Structure 1
Amino acid sequence: MDNVFCTVFTPTYNRKDTIYDLYDSLRKQSNKDFEWIIVDDGSTDKTEEVINDIRKNEQTFSITYVKQENGGKHRAINKGLDHAKGKMFFIVDSDDTLTYDAIELIKHFVDSLNNTDEPIAAVAGLRMGKDGYVIGGAPINEYIDCANSLRKQYDLLGDKAEVYFTNVLKQYRFPTFEGETFLTECIVWNKIADDGYKIRWFNKSIYICEYQEAGLTNNLEMLKKNNPKGYLLNIKTDMMYLKLNTIQRLGYIYGYYFIVKDIKGKKEISTELEVNILELYLAIIAKKIKNYLKGQ
């Protein structure tokens, strides 16, 4: 299968108990002009056996399975792009599923771009929970065109189902750091936006997931501590690309300080962030005042 409309890309790690549900939702797609690429990020369960069984019986669409040493989702995406043959690149996690008409709707989304001269990097649908609730905000009308970095002002916060043009995404590989296995995807998404690309966001649900906020904060804090170089890049690119006000900027500065303050001095931290050390002290003071007012 040399040319397909969409590459459905799935990074996976120890998801043998859920990945078949994703496959079942792919098998039921009303439009089967897609390939499925799975990059196994060093699973130690029987994920490979499950995928091999699926591949033996599937004849409608191509399935590519690649196994790599555990290196994180961002490395898996880079690997998936190396193998992708689709015009579009759709990242679908191995514990989620798609609506039966997801690929058909994505084709409709892409076809609609004939009416614009704007540089569009991706089209996007909505995510919803298994009970049908829509996650985050949605366009008021059928769709809206805006950069990923401007989502807040259009009430588009919350996880969305972005589907990028593969030829665009191949120009923006994820950076990697030795010994680190986590890097937030927004580093790349915001860089694409800063280069002038927009996304066409649609008011249609195409992606079904479990949305669990409980425990997310603690998990993220540990990820940041275990991946400090990636987190530093996250902070610096957000301060560069997002339109932050003074309070927000100080919050970002304090966020990095809080993660590394036990192992790095203030001068080193301010140098890494490329901010004046007085601004770092201001961020610390602002946080203390905020915590004091909270306790009143």
Structure 2
Amino acid sequence: MKITVFTPTYNRAYILSNLYHSLQRQTYFDFEWLIVDDGSTDNTHDVVEQWQKEKNFFPIHYYKQENGGKCRAINHALDLAHGELFFTVDSDDYLTDDALEKIAKWEKELPKSNRYCGVAGNLGISPTKTSNTIFPGEYYEGTLFDRYKNVDGERAIVFYTEVHRKFKYPEFPGEKFMTEAVVYNRIAAAGYKIRFYNDIIWIYKYMEDGLTKSGSSVFINNPRGFGLWLQERARFQNYSTLKRTKMYYTFTCDLSSRYKCKLIAESIGAPVPLIRLMSIIHAGRRVFKNTREKNNV
């Protein structure tokens, strides 16, 4: 099978049909739909079971796991996928009718080299409108590090399954979130290239119950995953001592009201005495700010 369309989902039975119907409209047929249900408490299972009974030209595989977050669901799906290409599509979004046809075409045009991790299409709020930059020419070729400079916005990234299997997400007990940038950065650091195309193949809408709407809270609630992403990004981008110190301090400020200095230090990869000092400085600045505000009232 050429493509595994993978969807991690949690309590999205009310909107998952948008993606399902877009898969039914695809102009390309060599794919499977793999769903990992991350412990939903709604009727997701019943809805998908009904779809499995319908006469579709693509197989639908459904698995349910204990609630553990999107990255654990991705790790699980990588063990189950049959496709040469692995395309993660969120449960609140859907694809353009020719999305998979374009992906197959783009992959076929890649140079026959094991240094490519895959291809990426564009995201849009409609099939013709995107807030992302349009590159000169048909595509931009680089690495996933280019997301920090030459490639703005979110993109529809499609990996070679075997490449992605080499870079699964670290899992920390008690934590359910880790930014996908951890794996993207590791793939880029290993030297893999990717082609970013201008074509919109994914239509998105940020939902109130989505991770994007959760903002910084999902990072703060998962300090080890948060810290791992920051310290690896600092290493891959060769942060200066000053910039790294500022990162330690910001991280400490964000987490000091909820976690002990030892855990903060372990999460960000910094010496415990340094984090203790930064915590003291942060607390002192807060006291000074509060005192000044009271005196100005």
TM-score, normalisation: structure 2: 0.85
Q: How far did residue 237 of structure 1 move?
A: 1.4
Partner of 1:205: 200
Structure exhibiting the larger radius of gyration computed from Cα positions: 2
Q: What is the distance in 2 between the residues matched to 1:217 and 1:142?
A: 29
Q: How far did residue 199 of structure 1 move?
A: 1.1
* Conservation of the 8 A alpha-carbon contact between 1:231 and 1:256: no
SS in 1 for 2:2: strand
Call closer, same or farther: CA 1:101–1:236 in 2, change over 3 Å. same
Q: Which of 105, 109, 117 is the matching residue for 2:106?
A: 109
Call closer, same or farther: CA 1:118–1:70 in 2, change over 3 Å. closer
1:149-195 superposed Cα distances (whole Å, 9 cap, x missing partner): 123332x1210000000010011111111111111111111001101
Call closer, same or farther: CA 1:216–1:107 in 2, change over 3 Å. closer
> What letter matches 1:232 in structure 2?
G
Call closer, same or farther: CA 1:217–1:249 in 2, change over 3 Å. farther
Partner of 1:193: 188
1:42 and 2:39 are equivalent in the alignment: yes
SS in 2 for 1:210: coil
Q: What is the distance in 2 between the residues matched to 1:17 and 1:216?
A: 17
Q: What is the distance in 2 between the residues matched to 1:62 and 1:217?
A: 30
Matches within 5 A, 1:130-145: 130=126, 132-145=128-141
> What letter matches 2:143 in structure 1?
A
Q: What is the distance in 1 between the residues matched to 2:266 and 2:225?
A: 16
Q: What is the distance in 2 between the residues matched to 1:229 and 1:47?
A: 30
* Conservation of the 8 A alpha-carbon contact between 2:96 and 2:127: no
Q: How far did residue 198 of structure 1 move?
A: 1.3
SS in 2 for 1:42: coil
SS in 2 for 1:175: coil
Q: How far did residue 139 of structure 1 move?
A: 2.3
1:94-128 superposed Cα distances (whole Å, 9 cap, x missing partner): 110000000110011101103x6471101000000
* Conservation of the 8 A alpha-carbon contact between 1:129 and 1:211: no
Call closer, same or farther: CA 1:127–1:244 in 2, change over 3 Å. farther
1:176 and 2:164 are equivalent in the alignment: no
Partner of 1:221: 216
1:20 and 2:17 are equivalent in the alignment: yes
TM-score, normalisation: structure 1: 0.85
1:149 and 2:157 are equivalent in the alignment: no
Matches within 5 A, 1:47-126: 47-114=44-111, 117=113, 119-126=115-122
> What letter matches 2:255 in structure 1?
V
Call closer, same or farther: CA 1:68–1:24 in 2, change over 3 Å. same
Q: What value does the CA root-mean-square deviation take over the aligned residues?
A: 2.7
Unaligned runs of 5+ in 2: 290-297
Partner of 1:127: 123
Unaligned runs of 5+ in 1: none
- Between the two proteins, the alignment pairs up a number of residues equal to 280
> What letter matches 2:218 in structure 1?
L
> What letter matches 2:180 in structure 1?
E
Identity of aligned residues (%): 39
